[in-house]
Structure 1
Amino acid sequence: MADTVVRAHDLREYFHQALHAAAQAQRLRAEAATLWYLTDLLVRFSRSERFYDYTESGWRLRPLAELYGIALEAEQESERRRILQRMGDVALFVAGLFAGQLGRRGIDVDYYIAMGGTAYGVLSEMNAESVRDSALSCVFEDLAGRFVGFADVLAEIGEQRCERSDEQLLRLYELWQKTGSERLARKLRGHGIDPLPTTGRMQ
């Protein structure tokens, strides 16, 4: 029987190759450092205990607004940096892989785009405390400036090939209206729907 399970020690290389292919498919010229950062993000969040937070109420995903509040109150800049990074990472992961499920929870993907982009933007402007911080600031600037594009790259990886129902196509169109994602526009055209530019759409 063919081995279809990705082994743990191959996971990093698997995600890196998948990200590289997805970026090419999305026509996104991604910096090597940014792709490696996203590789590490996917490897890290492949373990649920690293994606969720352990709180007094048990394992749960903290709301982004709560994380932002904690970051603002942090006394140490290193702690503020850590929380903002988690905020950006969670927002990007959710916007990329779970955007289609957000509407059912009454949350729009543009909220995650705005919060994640803000977190990465603040990180890119913080004073570097180490060589690692200095290198990451360029990555954070890239992620902040092209958040939707990188969310599309993650979505390309996570998307399964399946027929879409009319309801799913409507949700796809609504997501395109909110994000202006070129990936979503191509998906819609593939289903015979030509999305037209509208005012108020995020770029």
Structure 2
Amino acid sequence: MSVVDLVKPNDFFRDKVGDAVDGLNIDLDADLEFYLVNLLCEFIQPQNLILGDIDLLDTPLALIYKEALESSPQMQLKVYKKLGDISLYIAGYFQASLSRKTVGPGYYISMGSSAYQKMSSIMQRRYNELHFTEMYSNLSREFKTLVSVVTRIAGDLPIENHNLLKIYEKWCDTQSTTLKTFLENEGLSPDSVSFKKIQ
């Protein structure tokens, strides 16, 4: 029986977010805590890292942003949300590896914050929806703080060998440069592995 069988993801990440917020000694709005818990739960499932034909882990943020600009009004909200979410996830969870890349955490923070601000504007202008207008505005304003929370959580989650194997298998399927960089930072060179994934 695995940990996932014993603990519900919502409960697990609610505790982790609460511990991180306490450990960082910050005051985070309850709506933002709730949003962050749901985001972390959502990205447990690989299918949630796909939006239409876009693999969010392996597509430059600028191309996702371009997709949002060129989308229908209804689709814009979905694309901006995914752009904000994936920027927050990567900037927090992979911050150490981003610091060694040409495009650093600041780029992800800027793009994610901008995406949430766009959502806030759409919610206000198109739907006159005050609650979500304020929530996405807060997500934009508190983006750096949220990245710090995710970074703290990521540092508290040891990577076990079976998790590295899952990441390697995902890289085999997608050839994602982000996943390759992550594996290399863990001391593995996926290109040099001589065996193929068992089907």
If the length of structure 2 is used for normalisation, what is the TM-score? 0.69
Unaligned runs of 5+ in 2: 159-199
Match of 2:106 in 1: 110
Gap change, CA 1:123 and 1:29, over 3 Å in 2? same
The answer to whether the 8 A contact 1:53-1:60 is kept is: no
Match of 2:139 in 1: 143
Query: For 1:35 and 1:115, how far apart are their aligned partners in 2?
Result: 20
Would you tell me which structure has more helix in proportion to its own residues? 2
Q: CA deviation at 1:72?
A: 0.7
Match of 1:120 in 2: 116
Gap change, CA 1:8 and 1:141, over 3 Å in 2? farther
Q: Taking every aligned residue pair, what percent have the same amino acid on both sides?
A: 24
Supply the AA of the counterpart residue of 2:115: A
* Counterpart mapping for 1:127-166 below 5 A: 127-128=123-124, 134-160=130-156
Number of equivalences: 157
Gap change, CA 1:130 and 1:54, over 3 Å in 2? closer
* Counterpart mapping for 1:9-158 below 5 A: 10-53=8-51, 55=53, 61-75=58-72, 77-128=73-124, 134-158=130-154
SS at match of 2:3: coil
1:117-149 CA-to-partner distances (Å, cap 9, x unmatched) read 111111112235669x54332221111111111
Could you list the structure 1 runs, at least 4 aligned residues long, displaced by more than 3 angstroms after superposition.
Answer: 52-56, 127-131
Query: For 2:59 and 2:40, how far apart are their aligned partners in 1?
Result: 18
Match of 2:162 in 1: none
Supply the AA of the counterpart residue of 2:79: I
The answer to whether the 8 A contact 1:113-1:148 is kept is: yes
Query: For 2:39 and 2:6, how far apart are their aligned partners in 1?
Result: 15
If the length of structure 1 is used for normalisation, what is the TM-score? 0.68
Query: For 1:52 and 1:96, how far apart are their aligned partners in 2?
Result: 19
1:75-95 CA-to-partner distances (Å, cap 9, x unmatched) read 2x2211110011000000001
Supply the AA of the counterpart residue of 1:62: T
Query: For 1:18 and 1:161, how far apart are their aligned partners in 2?
Result: 10
